[in-house]
């Protein structure tokens, strides 16, 4: 056996890593300079990797036998399709080590404290200009949320599907469309997966429909989490609530804060800083970095952050970030770079790549979208309230109730057209759009039962 192979064999069979001094003790016939040269070659060829500095530097084998029991994340070609900076590649090299080679670390409050809104920039000025150019829409000077409402049907499907997919959900894009548009659950799928998709839909609608008032405050974030976590947490009391207990991060050496008072205090600081950021993309990325890092909720933190990341983009009438085509492994590893190293470069590169994919999709479909119905846009709150009142008052005759409500609130010149629009909305009502009108499934079922003959 050659001296190189002898060193490699010793490194591979040492589960906890081995230093150069230990290797030289095991192989006294190999000179130090020779060993250093051969180890460098093994690292270059990807056969081993190193962790630590100086005399404490340890070497680990990438061909670790399974019986050793070390988790090892093999590279999945992330750099082949996502342009990575040298800093990002450095993060990958660290994160791709087995757990035993990575240093356990807790929440670093200094990471948040050091951030100065509009002075500290995770996204450089040139990168922000590039993102604004990519995401610009023709609705830029319209009221906040105009663009997200225009594309809401497509947005509900794409973001619900892609975000759920990052959590291992096996619904296809077509399955998701059938569920959201027609209320049809996919055959053979777990109830948990169906619930996850529907929760995303409700949460996105919560943001889009309340864009005029939605901000990075406790109310918005708590209710966003509540919508995403409904019927998915072991303890329903954790829905929309700051966690009261410690949590572990799977396949990570990161340990978040565990004292609820500290979490509350840090959460408040996080929101305060987020609200001061003036650039939509910097604000968006800040939330993508710091919300999962804090882990303020018992679970579903990353899902909450992915939707919260879109709030500044919705408000500025920019293209959304839908996470279409983002590989789960790439997203997980970029997030681990923040958790374990408090470094944002890999997540930043992924953010830019993912946003470019989203804009290519949405700027293309925007050309084919019909302009929003001006009547529906002007009276959307009235329409929702009338439909809510009709459904929740089963004793009323639907048509008569609509006629009376329209006559009381709408100018005479628009009454006939709006009445017809509301009747058509009522005919199309199904369980997949109930949240839009503030309705519960039980209320819809009761109304259908009371007016079954008129629905046929």
* CA pair distance 119, 105, nearest whole angstrom: 27
* CA pair distance 378, 352, nearest whole angstrom: 35
What is the Cα 306 distance to its own chain's centre?
A: 2
Nearest to 171 by CA among 211, 199, 209, 149: 199
**Residue 305 counted as an annotated binding residue:** yes
**Residue 299 counted as an annotated binding residue:** yes
Specify the pLDDT at position 158. 95
Per-residue pLDDT band at 78 (split at 50, 70, 90)? low
Beta carbons within 8 Å of 178's beta carbon, 6+ residues apart: 184, 186
Residue ranges of domains in the chain = 3-61, 86-368, 374-453
Architecture of domain 3-61: Orthogonal Bundle (1.10)
**Residue 306 counted as an annotated binding residue:** yes
Specify the pLDDT at position 71. 37
CB-based contact 144:313 (threshold 8 Å)? no
Residue 371 has pLDDT above 80, yes or no: no
pTM above threshold 0.85: no
Specify the pLDDT at position 68. 32
Specify the pLDDT at position 436. 85
Q: What is the CATH number of domain 86-368?
A: 1.10.3290.10
Specify the pLDDT at position 365. 62
Per-residue pLDDT band at 76 (split at 50, 70, 90)? very low
**Residue 342 counted as an annotated binding residue:** no
**Residue 302 counted as an annotated binding residue:** yes
**Residue 303 counted as an annotated binding residue:** yes
**Residue 358 counted as an annotated binding residue:** no
Specify the pLDDT at position 434. 86
Specify the pLDDT at position 2. 72
**Residue 210 counted as an annotated binding residue:** no
Specify the pLDDT at position 63. 46
Across the range 353-379, mean pLDDT stands at 75
């Amino acid at each position: 056996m050659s001296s190189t192979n002898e060193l490699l064999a010793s490194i591979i069979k040492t589960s906890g890593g081995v230093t150069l001094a230990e290797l030289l003790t095991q192989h006294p016939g190999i000179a130090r300079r020779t060993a250093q040269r051969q180890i460098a070659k093994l690292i270059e060829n990807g056969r081993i990797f190193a962790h630590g500095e100086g005399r404490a530097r340890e070497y680990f084998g990438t061909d670790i036998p399974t019986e050793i029991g070390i988790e090892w994340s093999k590279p999945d070609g992330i750099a082949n399709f996502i342009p990575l900076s040298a800093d990002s590649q450095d993060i990958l090299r660290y994160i791709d080590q087995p757990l035993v080679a990575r240093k356990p670390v807790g929440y670093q409050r200094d990471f948040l404290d050091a951030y100065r809104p509009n002075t500290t920039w995770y996204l450089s000025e040139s990168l922000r200009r590039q993102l604004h150019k990519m995401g610009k829409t023709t609705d830029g000077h319209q009221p906040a949320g105009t663009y997200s409402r225009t594309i809401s049907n497509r947005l509900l499907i794409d973001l619900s599907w892609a975000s759920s997919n990052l959590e291992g959900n096996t619904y296809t894009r077509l399955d998701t469309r059938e569920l959201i548009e027609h209320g049809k659950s996919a055959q053979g799928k777990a109830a948990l997966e169906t619930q996850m998709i529907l929760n995303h839909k409700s949460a996105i609608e919560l943001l889009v429909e309340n864009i005029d008032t939605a901000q990075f405050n406790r109310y918005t974030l708590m209710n966003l989490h509540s919508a995403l976590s409904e019927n998915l947490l072991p303890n329903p009391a954790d829905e929309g609530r700051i966690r009261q207990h410690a949590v572990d991060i799977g396949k990570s050496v990161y340990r978040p804060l565990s004292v609820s008072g500290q979490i509350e205090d840090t959460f408040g600081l996080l929101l305060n800083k987020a609200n001061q950021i003036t650039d939509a993309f910097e604000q968006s990325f800040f939330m993508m970095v710091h919300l999962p890092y804090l882990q303020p909720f018992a679970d579903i933190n990353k899902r909450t952050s992915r939707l919260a990341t879109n709030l500044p983009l919705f408000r500025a009438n920019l293209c959304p970030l839908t996470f279409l085509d983002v590989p789960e492994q790439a997203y997980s590893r970029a997030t681990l770079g923040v958790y374990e190293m408090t470094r944002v470069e890999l997540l930043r590169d992924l953010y830019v790549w993912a946003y470019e994919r989203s804009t290519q999709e949405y700027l293309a479909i925007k050309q084919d979208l019909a302009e929003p119905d001006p009547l529906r846009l002007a009276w959307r709150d009235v329409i929702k309230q009338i439909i809510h009142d009709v459904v929740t008052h089963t004793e009323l005759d639907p048509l008569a109730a609509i006629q009376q409500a329209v006559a009381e609130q709408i100018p005479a010149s628009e009454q006939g057209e709006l009445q017809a629009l509301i009747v058509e909305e009522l005919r199309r009502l199904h369980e997949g759009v109930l949240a839009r009108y503030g309705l519960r499934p039980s209320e819809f079922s009761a109304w259908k039962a009371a007016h079954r003959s008129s629905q046929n």
